[in-house]
A = this chain, B = another copy of it.
Amino acid sequence: MADAKFIYDSAERNADLYYATRFAAPDPFIYFEVRGKKYLVLSDLEIDRGKKIATVERVLSLASYAKLAEKKNRSFTIVDVLKEIFSEHGIKKLVVPQTMSFAMADALRKKGFRVEPGPVPFYEERLAKTPEERKLIERSQRVIFEAMRLARETLEKSRIKGDRLAYRGKTLTSEMMQQILRVFLLERNHFAPEIIVACGMHSIDPHDRGAGPLRPHKAIIVDIFPRSSATMYYGDATRTFCKGRAPDALKRMYATVKEGQELGISKLRAGVNGRLVHESIMRYFEKKGYVTGVKGGRRQGFFHSTGHSIALDLPEEPGRLGPRDFIVPMGYVTSVEPGLYYAAVGGVRIEDLVYVTKKGCEILSRYPKRLEVR
């Protein structure tokens, strides 16, 4: 009797499943690994494609196991089918992703299987990106920076009219800019269901997607994080713009965030504790007079993590460059995205992705950091 790794999920939702098989299908499918061999169990609709492209040793037919299950019980469930498959392969203990549904875990246990949670990520080698993965993330990142250029150009082409921006005869809004960028990305096979284009009071809440007219002389945070529908890999980048002359307070804050980001990048390398990178930026901000705390019931300053991992998931767990200890592994890809948020000034965030090496880290594609758009 052998232990098996087992996943039942859709590849789009479960990055480990896609990582292991390089196979995606619209419906959930069965995957297991036992005695060093990987297996897929696919329906008739998927089996031919699976045999062609999946990076597994064997592709089995779901229908044939379903037939076996049906012989024993006409109203059989997926768990009966799994029992047939696992019996045939001499499997009694299953190591599964912690996200597996508890209904399925309970049902498998009732059938006599041991079900135990695997690590996060399920394939720990995901933490260190292969050169191929690095390339795919960088490719997404390049597309994002093309979109960032388009955002800047759209602001350039807009004219200031009182407290609004006029673009092609209309008032330029967050929603319009999001749509312009979304379509541009889609035309390059990148899906961005959410894009942040947040101005004024919207910009001081890092989760606010932004809404309504974009304003001149105010911070406009543009945060773009699409997934490539060709490669399944994400990219993620943020720039902050200001149409027209920026107030001095905003300029100073921008320069501070930019320096904070550079400081963080300079400290990142394999083996370093991400918490120390995060704290060094925090301390730098404090030294410059940007204190983090609560004011009027609202958090202000630098109150999110410095960065998160990214690849087939966004964010990828575990580990952040944040307030908790986390030793950064070699080949890690993480965002470095400090920000400062104050009601009186607005929000500023600058984000790039880096690839962590022994000696330091490499920035994945580049785009200028300039606040003002004239």
A residues within 8 Å of B by Cβ?
A: 13, 25-26, 44-46, 48-49, 96, 98-106, 115, 117, 179, 182-183, 186-187, 191, 193-194, 205-208, 229, 299, 303
The list of the 7 closest CB pairs from A to B, nearest first, reads A98-B103, A102-B105, A102-B102, A45-B207, A99-B101, A103-B117, A100-B102
Bound together, the chains give a CA A103 to CA B13 distance in angstroms of 17
State the oligomeric state as a number of copies.
2
A341 CB → nearest B CB, Å: 11
Among B96, B183, B207, contact of A183 (Cβ-Cβ < 8 Å): B183
Closest to A43 in B: B207
Given contacts A26-B207, A187-B179, A205-B45, contact A101 B103 (CB under 8 A): no
Chain B residues contacting A208 (CB-CB under 8 Å) are 49
Bound together, the chains give a CA A214 to CA B350 distance in angstroms of 44
The reply to whether B229 and A299 form a contact with Cβ atoms under 8 Å apart is no
The reply to whether A25 and B207 form a contact with Cβ atoms under 8 Å apart is yes
Chain B residues contacting A299 (CB-CB under 8 Å) are 44
Given contacts A46-B207, A96-B102, A182-B186, contact A229 B193 (CB under 8 A): yes
Among B26, B106, B194, B303, contact of A102 (Cβ-Cβ < 8 Å): B106
Bound together, the chains give a CA A4 to CA B183 distance in angstroms of 43
The reply to whether A45 and B206 form a contact with Cβ atoms under 8 Å apart is yes
- Beyond A26-B194, A98-B104, A106-B117, 15 additional contacts (C-beta under 8 Å) are A25-B207, A45-B205, A45-B206, A46-B207, A98-B101, A99-B103, A100-B101, A102-B105, A102-B106, A102-B115, A102-B117, A105-B105, A179-B186, A179-B187, A186-B186
Bound together, the chains give a CA A279 to CA B208 distance in angstroms of 50
* A-B CB contact pairs (8 Å), 27 listed: A25-B207, A26-B207, A44-B299, A44-B303, A45-B206, A46-B207, A49-B208, A96-B102, A98-B101, A98-B102, A98-B104, A99-B101, A99-B103, A100-B101, A100-B102, A101-B102, A102-B102, A102-B115, A103-B117, A105-B106, A106-B117, A179-B187, A182-B186, A183-B183, A186-B186, A191-B191, A191-B193
Closest to A99 in B: B101
Chain B residues contacting A45 (CB-CB under 8 Å) are 205-207
Bound together, the chains give a CA A8 to CA B37 distance in angstroms of 34
Bound together, the chains give a CA A46 to CA B191 distance in angstroms of 24
Chain B residues contacting A186 (CB-CB under 8 Å) are 179, 182-183, 186
Please indicate which of the listed interface residues A102, A104, A193 has the most CB atoms of chain B within 10 Å of its own CB. Answer: A102
Closest to A189 in B: B179
A339 CB → nearest B CB, Å: 12
Closest to A206 in B: B45
Chain B residues contacting A102 (CB-CB under 8 Å) are 96, 98, 100-102, 104-106, 115, 117
Chain B residues contacting A49 (CB-CB under 8 Å) are 208
Closest to A187 in B: B183
A258 CB → nearest B CB, Å: 23
A235 CB → nearest B CB, Å: 16
Closest to A103 in B: B98
Chain B residues contacting A96 (CB-CB under 8 Å) are 102
Please indicate which of the listed interface residues A13, A104, A186, A303 has the most CB atoms of chain B within 10 Å of its own CB. Answer: A186
A114 CB → nearest B CB, Å: 12
